[in-house]
Chains A and B, each alone.
Chain A
């Protein structure tokens, strides 16, 4: 069974640009969550999508957005990039929404903003 796939693995962008990250969940999983990981703030929740609907959102500015497609694949977008957006972005998939279903994480996308 394939795991959670995140593409690309690495990205370098310039301040002010926008970026789109992709996440393919485990087959059959309908929930996708996104987390930002930085050395200073640790792992912070961005948002969760379930059945193409955003179910939960963390405390991030509107520059961070996402969506989920009918096949459960998800994308997140960051517009007007800032240096502080440099981070490892992790996607996690779950069978259903709710912590009791557990989360399987991808290897992440390392975004560097210069």
Chain B
């Protein structure tokens, strides 16, 4: 069974500082990997996804993530955080074969300080 761990429940970053949100997954083969963002009271918006190929993927809003197979990680990064980035971020994994659902991590709440 697949699983996702997001070790940080909350992270506070100063506006303009860099950001890295951690995600570790457990899956027997190469998975599909996703990062979603959720603003209060809203649904999930896809930031980026990794299916195969280049391990550094670019997403919307200036986010990027790097797939590291040896570490089973898919960390999300942004070089300069804006106050509007404050939200909850979810990492998710999906299987590449068969019918597949997404398994989500518990999320990391990002707080941006002025």
Point out residues on A near B: beta carbons under 8 Å: 4, 6, 33, 35, 42-43, 45, 48, 55-56, 58, 90, 92, 97-100, 102-108, 110
- B102 pairs with A45, CB closer than 8 A: yes
A42 touching B43, Cβ below 8 Å: no
Distance A45 CA – B95 CA, assembled complex (angstroms): 14
User: Would you call B106 and A42 a contact (CB within 8 A)?
Assistant: yes
Q: Is the interface of A mostly helix, strand, loop or mixed?
A: strand
Report B59 CB to chain A, min CB distance, Å: 12
Number of interface residues of B (CB under 8 A): 24
Interface residues of B (CB under 8 A from A): 32, 34, 36, 41-46, 49, 51, 90, 94-96, 99-107
| Residues in A whose Cβ lies below 8 Å from that of B107 | 42-43
Cross-chain contact A107 with B101 (CB below 8 angstroms): no
Q: Which residue of A lies closest to B49 (CB)?
A: A102
Given contacts A55-B99, A108-B43, 5 further A-B contacts (CB under 8 A): A42-B106, A56-B100, A100-B51, A100-B100, A103-B102
Q: Report Cα–Cα, A110/B100, bound state, in Å.
A: 25
Give the Cβ gap from B52 to chain A, nearest Cβ, in Å: 9
Q: Which residues of B contact A100 (CB under 8 A)?
A: 32, 51, 94, 96, 100
Which chain A residue lies CB-closest to B2?
A99
Contacts of A45 in B (CB 8 A): 101-103
In the complex, A102→B95 CA distance in Å? Answer: 12
- Report B-chain residues with C-beta under 8 Å of the C-beta of A106: 43
